[in-house]
A and B are shown apart, each in its own frame.
Chain A
Amino acid sequence: MSGRGNWQGGEGMSFDVMIVGIGGQGTILTSNILGKACVIEGIPVRGAETHGMAQRGGSVESQIRIGQQYGPLIPPGTADLLLSFDLMETVRAVHWLKENGQIFTSQEFVVPTSVFMQDYPAPDEHMLLEMLDSRKYKMIDCHQIAEEAGNLLTQNIVLLGAASPEIPLKRESIEKAIRETVPQKTVDINLKAFDMGIEAGKSD
């Protein structure tokens, strides 16, 4: 176990990441990996997440503040990075980002059941991308890459891999945190997914 206090960001400063998706997509697991990586590096960290009934297929968010020593909540309009497992949730969460904040988003999205029940027009990919406006985003085909890595459940790790060069944590620390977090027998597949995610993040 490491000590504390290697963070260079200064008092009250942190690198703030919003992780959003739909209940069950692995937002909490992803934020746990970042949290553990901070502990490995001896950096203070704060996180906030959605628990309870909201997880039943609803919009969920995990906030994680790397280097933060005070509260767990990110003020809207100040997040440095947005990770999203659903393109529609990306649009819903974009106001959390600071002006030049970076977005890494899954290409896929699930249309809420209420849209069908109430006969609303369902949004399509083109519409959603248009709503991102001038934001800098990188769209990753997490489904395809996770399938290639060998398990569809690694989509969150693929996206984390793609975004990881933007995150002020060492690659080794994140990889170590993945090993400590995911089920033992899925470690190799997750590390592969992480690797493939990094590669996918480099391409345009």
Chain B
Amino acid sequence: MVVHYLLGNEAIAHGCLEAAVDIVCGYPGTPSSEVIDTLRMDPDRAYKVEWSVNEKVAFEEALAASWCGLRAICTMKHVGLNVAADPLMVSAYTGAKGGFVILSADDPFAHSSQNEQDSRCYSLFARIPCLDPSTLQEAHDMVRDAFALSEEFSLPVLFRPTTRICHSKSDVDMGDVKKSDRAAFFDKDSRQYVVIPAHTRILHQKLNQKQPIIKKRLIELGYNRYEIKGKAAVICGGVGASYVREVIGPDVSLAVIGAYPVDEGWLAGFIQKHDKILVVEELSPVIEEIVRQVSGCVLVYGKKSGHVPYEGELSPERVAHYLTAAGIATSVRYEEPQKPAALPNRPPILCAGCMHRTAMYAMKKVFRDGIFPSDIGCYTLGIQLGTVDTTICMGASITIASGMSLAGDARDIVCTIGDSTFLHSGIQGLVNAVYNGANITVVILDNRITAMTGHQPNPTTGLTACGVSSPPVSLEAICRACGATFVETVSPSDLTTFLNVLKKAKATMGVKVVIARQPCVISEKRSKTNRGKYAVRQESCIGCKACIKFGCPAIELRGGLAAITDLCSGCGVCVQICPVGAIGREVKE
């Protein structure tokens, strides 16, 4: 055993190695991405790692590997599980052979997500076991043991860490890495793997018969446990259990739910030894629903009584507050802290030299009264530029645009979607829009990388997850194959040409695809591309703020005149925006 200071996702990755994982697939999504980012960097790996084009693809590949007898994990963020929900629901029927773990990372408080859904609900829906760690050590141990649990029940196991597990750090005790000696062999069995009605009815029955045995086993394994100390009790799960432990009074009983499904009889036994129960969990009242089913006359506080919120994340001081409100003793008291100071916000912003800013600046110029459906990626930050009117989920920019066109809004409809998002789930929308005669402009913001989640390669990059060269797919060929006849590729840093292409698109009916192609500035910086810097000639600047309104973080106002800072990456777009030619190459004195 060795103790290391690790990020939660690194600890989870190491747990996979200790379980001798064979196949790792996933689609990047905060807060899950670093699990694969850790595993794909291992030069001595004996397993295969893939960034798949979307979560459904990743899920099905990992499932197939499991059917071939290998240990497999697929990773995604919570909303990715929606994309993979179709195979998820049926995989519970077909079951797994080699250990199959689905990592779906939830994001309470939506730190970097479009919603706060709770993956535990999926495990109840699909009737598969779910492991919900409360600490990093537990996350490491749980994922290590989840493969064996999956093999024991021949079922996929859902592993559900949250942001404060994935992106927290802790001293973690790690075991040895093990190498797999498994070889893939698919043992044909149509009654197991072909879900025609005659087979699926039987498989469903078998799935239901497993449930009571799983519930008992999760208690035996110590995932669901309690300690009785008094007449009041807290029942909790997930990272919230850590906060509860930090603030709970010494004479209060504690039950921790680390796995689902929960054995109702076991839980009722605990509840009935108490007068009062407080249920503390993030997001959906999953534990609370079960508690209320078996609580009888015992008083239960939680979300349904208004004591704990349904949304947001927990913290020690919030948990202490809920305990106090429920009349349960705490070991600490927190004073009301002072209010945060009133300062201008510092939201995340597109980088200096980012092509998304230029593309969106041009869109706003040409389509002044346009509607701008957008998508999930760094470019969602374009909301600050007024060119993001909608985002809902991956790939929905094109379909929301074609839907508005179908609805008949007469304004120009111009949607934006990134390269990775287009390949994830944008293509079907494009086929549909072209075939059904939509009148929209689709701007594919192609920076050749999945940037927002930490620069994972995708099929436009030309490299696989492990850095092996692979011919990049042609977005132009894909778009033409989808039926689009207007497909123009242009670099936004050539502002004049880009504006002209947009004007041409505006004047053309039908589906127009503009591929705005320029590498991500962060990728360029990492590959040591140096384009030099630009500077404002102070004597020429008239203080019109045209460049300031462009919103580049490298341009600031000093005494009413523009100035360019060290952040400049040399894209040169501000030179093309300045109406008096006051910006030029930096001259070193």
State the A residues within 8 Å of B (CB). 1-4, 12, 22-23, 31-32, 35-36, 38-39, 42, 44-59, 64, 70-73, 75-78, 88-89, 91-92, 94-96, 111-117, 120, 122-123, 131
Contacts and interface: CB of A to CB of B under 8 A. Distances in A.
A57 B245 CA distance: 35
A114 B347 contact: yes
Contacts of A48: 164, 167-169
A47 B168 CA distance: 5
Contacts of A56: 348-351, 378, 381
B551 interface: yes
Contacts of B582: none
A79 B338 CA distance: 13
Interface centre among A31, A38, A52 (most CB of B within 10 A): A52
B497 interface: no
Identify the 5 closest CB pairs spanning chains A and B, nearest first: A77-B337, A58-B348, A47-B169, A52-B30, A71-B242
A70 B243 CA distance: 7
A55 B334 CA distance: 30
Contact of B112 (A45, A54, A89): A54
A57 B168 contact: no
Interface of B: 2-5, 30-31, 34, 111-112, 164, 167-171, 239, 242-243, 245-246, 315-317, 320, 331-332, 334-341, 343-351, 378, 380-381, 384, 452-454, 548-549, 551-553, 555-557
Contacts, number: 176
A127 to B, nearest CB: 10
Nearest to A94: B341
A16 B203 CA distance: 52
A141 to B, nearest CB: 17
Contact of A38 (B5, B167, B337, B555): B5
A125 to B, nearest CB: 14
Contacts of B171: 4, 35, 38-39, 44-45
Contact of B243 (A31, A71, A120): A71
A51 B31 contact: yes
A183 to B, nearest CB: 14
A115 B344 CA distance: 7
A49 B164 CA distance: 9
A116 B316 contact: no
A12 B315 CA distance: 14
Chain B binding site: helix, strand, loop or mixed by DSSP?
A: loop
Contacts of A92: 340-341, 343, 346
Given A54-B112, A75-B317, A112-B345, A46 B168 contact: yes
29 contacts: A4-B171, A12-B246, A32-B169, A47-B169, A48-B167, A48-B169, A49-B167, A52-B30, A52-B111, A53-B378, A56-B351, A57-B346, A57-B348, A58-B348, A58-B349, A72-B169, A73-B164, A88-B346, A89-B346, A91-B341, A92-B340, A92-B341, A95-B337, A95-B339, A113-B552, A114-B344, A116-B555, A116-B557, A117-B551
Contact of A116 (B34, B384, B556): B556
Contacts of A76: 317, 337
A2 B173 CA distance: 11
A38 B242 CA distance: 20
A17 to B, nearest CB: 13
Nearest to A132: B341
Contacts of B331: 12
B111 A54 contact: yes
A114 B345 contact: yes
A51 B243 contact: no
Contacts of B335: 77
Given A54-B348, A59-B346, A95 B341 contact: yes
A106 to B, nearest CB: 15
Contacts of A12: 245-246, 331-332
Contact of A45 (B170, B246, B351, B552): B170
Contacts of B345: 59, 112, 114
Nearest to B340: A95
Nearest to A59: B346
Contact of A71 (B169, B239, B553): B239
Nearest to B562: A116
